[in-house]
Homo-oligomer: A and B are copies of this chain.
Amino acid sequence: MPPAAIDTTSQLTSAGVSSALSKTAHSLTNGANGVSGVQLAELDASRITSTYTASPRPVPVPGSPEIAAQNICTDHMITAKWTVKEGWHAPALQPYGPLSLMPTASCLHYATECFEGLKLYRGYDGKLRLFRANLNAARMLNSATRIALPAFAPTELLKLIMKLCATDGPKWLPKDEPGSFLYLRPTMIASDPALGVQRPNEALLYVILTCFPRLDAPTIGADGSPQGMKLLASGDDTIRAWPGGFGHAKVGANYGPSLVAQGEARKAGYNQILWLFGDNCEVTEAGASNFFVVWRTRSGATELVTAPLDRKIILDGVTRRSVLQLVRERLSESTENVQGLDIVERNIQMDEIVQAAGDGRLLEAFAAGTAFFISPVQEIHFRGTDIRVPMTAGEAGPYTKQIKTWLSDIMYGKEHHEWGIVVEEQS
């Protein structure tokens, strides 16, 4: 496993979640922050204090414009402060509201900030579920320490996430609306009120829960048929990430610098940038999602191909990882109806995609991530050429559709699976 990969020792399952969530003695805080000889407090979800809102807010109607605007949060948030001298303070569940930061705060100048994105699902069996949230918590630890933010035991973050979901989930994801979800955003920022360019001495971890639109639903084209994503391949003057950089970490620094290119792509009618790397135009990510293609090789094999993690220039996506695991378990053998998929993690050059499309060997392509879930790609514009990806009646191809259905069934409790972590609701 490359160093960028998620720590699989924290792969909690639904069944094992209670025992595994017992406090682990990580003692990470001291080691990672350079204060030796002092026992600093660890992040400890059991010390949480709760203050409930006196002004509960209305839940927006499904499909309303506020949801598309991505600016409605639920009634509460969780915060936990850290200082280099004392370690982690007791976390607090409190009413959602503004943060007060000094204008000198490190995170406002030096991008000392990282985050996670995951969803809380209201299942068809009436239960609330997270999907492999243990992987998000572990990745957040990797991201935080990449930018000199404090370490913590991922299981403690997971407990805080579950506490917020247990509190606000029942109201904001009503039982009579199965198939709906909210978006969780654990965030950590350096809050030092001092301009020195140095490791932060203060930080704030917080978790918020927001209304979020479905981004994987196909848009409807001018002819009334559903449309897949249209991607614009990045030019050679804009590179998202580089070996030795931080493209594998979910840190703020990967996003702001991508927005100009993304804005230009949208203006030109594309949904996202397809980020390329190197002289051979290797495909890395689609927007902020991982990218997959399904093609037939010249020797007749059918492959599911995605970029590898070894150069640390792409995110080790939870959806990416889940797609690979499911295909390995369920789609690698040919059946009567379906040809088995060979899984290949390697650098894909744009020329290979162009050739496969030209030969009629390009079968499907999709973006995979939490926000966009599994979104079929219909077109890639690369240096003056439009590459069309076949779509069945404007919808995802059969492999993409099958993978998406399996994942969705686990998320919404149609299939009981260890990846679906049930959240006990607070009454």
Contacts and interface: CB of A to CB of B under 8 A. Distances in A.
Contacts of A70: 104, 194-196
29 contacts: A34-B267, A69-B196, A71-B194, A96-B103, A98-B100, A98-B101, A98-B102, A99-B103, A100-B100, A104-B185, A108-B189, A111-B113, A111-B256, A112-B256, A113-B256, A146-B260, A147-B257, A147-B260, A148-B260, A185-B195, A197-B255, A197-B259, A197-B371, A198-B263, A199-B262, A200-B259, A237-B244, A245-B245, A253-B257
Contacts of A193: 71
A244 B238 contact: yes
B109 A185 contact: yes
Which size bracket describes the interface of A in this complex?
A: 35 or more
Nearest to A100: B98
A388 to B, nearest CB: 26
A239 interface: yes
Interface string A56-80: 0000000000000111010001000
A183 B258 CA distance: 30
A406 interface: no
Nearest to A148: B259
A208 interface: yes
Given A146-B260, A198-B262, 14 more contacts: A73-B104, A104-B185, A109-B115, A110-B252, A111-B251, A111-B252, A112-B256, A148-B263, A185-B195, A198-B263, A239-B242, A245-B245, A251-B256, A251-B257
A163 B193 CA distance: 23
A150 to B, nearest CB: 12
B263 A199 contact: yes
Contacts of A263: 34, 148, 198-199
Interface string A197-209: 1111000001010
A192 B210 CA distance: 14
**Copies per complex?**
2
A78 to B, nearest CB: 10
A294 to B, nearest CB: 26
B251 A243 contact: no
Interface string A143-156: 00111100000000
B239 A243 contact: yes
Contact of A252 (B109, B146, B187, B239): B109
